[in-house]
Structure formats: C-alpha cells, structure tokens
Structure 1
Amino acid sequence: MLLTIRSLTKTFPGTLALDDVRFDLAAGEVHALLGENGAGKSTLIKCLTGAYRPDAGEIRLDGAVVAPRSTGEAQELGIGTVYQEVNLLPNLTVAQNLCFGREPRRFGLVSSCGMKAMAEGMLDGYGLDIDVSRDLGTYSVAIQQIVAIARAVALSG
C-alpha cells in the first residue's frame, strides 16, 4: 500500500471529527471522499497534509510511519492537496503561478525565459499545451485546476 491510515482520531472541543478512520490507497488508485458537511472529509485531508495533528492513530506512507507537523513537511514527504477552489492568483500568468517562490534566476534577476520553460515542462506531463504567458484567470476553471494540480505535484516532488 502506498498510503495506509489506521485508527485516525481527531477531536475539537465538543466535537469528535474523526473516529477510528481506516483507509488504504495503492499506487495508481484514485479515491473520492464523499459525505455531508461536517462528515470529516476536510479534517482527514488536513491531518494527512500536516495542517492538523491527529489525536490518535497512524499514517503510513510507503510502509513508513509519518506524522507531518506542517504542510511544508507533508509536501517534502510527497503529500499535497489541490482544493476544489483554485488557490492560485488569477492576475498572474500561468508561469508565474507555477513557479511562484521558485522562480529561476539569471544574474540575480528572475528569468522570464527560464520561468516559461519551467512552466511548460511542468504542464507537459499533463498533456496541456497552453500559453503559459497568459494570465491564469483567462483560462477555464478546468485548466486552472490542472495548473493547480501540476503546481502541487511539483511542490511535493
């Protein structure tokens, strides 16, 4: 199993948000978390991504126990999240969004050509051939989601 969750429990004052959650994910599988508001879907994801610390239970990634203490630490482990709402900046270009915080530099200055090449390379694996120099907000929500996924995967890899 790529990801195994056993007996994961999370409480908030007056609320048992997760109660003995068990979950297995094999490499290459795709799962969906479905449930009513308040069912614990977001809480489970936040425990996996280090935004929340579970009160009990175990998370195993490739067989090793992990307990990310922050979203940055989770990303270093290869765990990232893409939310339904696109969490990027629509007024920046696709390339700027993809490279934000990791802009390639030349002589100390941000390299536009390097950023464009880096962004195109990141999208290549998704079969997305778009103009990365256009503002992200000019593209459909579906394209924006793919860009968000590409960024999350790049940050986690």
Structure 2
Amino acid sequence: MFERILVPTDGSPHATTAIEDAIELAADQDATLHALSVADSGPLGDVRLPGEAANPSEALAERAQGFVDDAVERAEAAGVEATGTIRNGPPSSEILDYAREIDADVIVMGSRGRGGLHRMAVGSVADHVIRFGEFRVLVVDAGEDATDT
C-alpha cells in the first residue's frame, strides 16, 4: 500500500514520535522512509543558538542535518531503508514540494513542532500541509508529556 513514506523532522518531541511511528509503518509496509528537515532561514525562522556557527544559515543547516541523520540511523537500525534530505525555505512549502518530488504515498508528521513566533505568525505547518497538499497525512501527537523546545 505504501512504498514511500515522508517524515519531516525539526527535532521536537512531536517530530521524534512521528519518526518512531513512520519507522514502524515503513517496516510493516516494506516501504522506504524519506526523512526531511527544513532549515527555515526566513525572517521568522529559528534564530542562531549560542555556540553555533557564526553564519546563521550554516547553523540551521547543521541542525537540520543532525535531525535527518538521527531519523535515518533509527530507521536503518530497525531494518528500514531510509534516505535523508535537508531543504531551506518555508517548512510547509518545502515539505509539500519534496513530497511531490518523491511521489510520497503518505506524510507522517508531528502535530506540533518547534513553533514559537513562526507558528503564531503564519499558522501550523501540519495544518498547511493538510489543507494545501494532495497527500495522505498522518498527524502524530506526542502526548501530554511532550514539551516543545
């Protein structure tokens, strides 16, 4: 039923739970997992954290690569074929563009991410993906114990 499963990640607890569920689904379906992290360097994207690279875009790309590497490693440890990609731009648009490129069968994503000012200003990434995409979307809630970072 599913051959290509896309799981966007921003390192949040909700994204981590989505990765776990996506890996389980991929294993069950013998599907390939495509992990994606978007380094949003726009005016409302994440800001550089202390100790990170002097170039904010470089710092965001390094963080995004770390999130993708973690997802791919988890999938491979579970015996699931996986690939990882990072993009730069508005997260919801990049998620939908990448899903179209790989012809994703389903997008598995967290109900909330890092959020903050960006979410208040432009709305939920998951909501945008659901409303403006043409894909099946499985939205995962990390539960009451999850705290957004």
TM-score by length of 1: 0.21
Q: Which has the higher helix share?
A: 2
The higher radius of gyration belongs to 1
TM-score by length of 2: 0.21
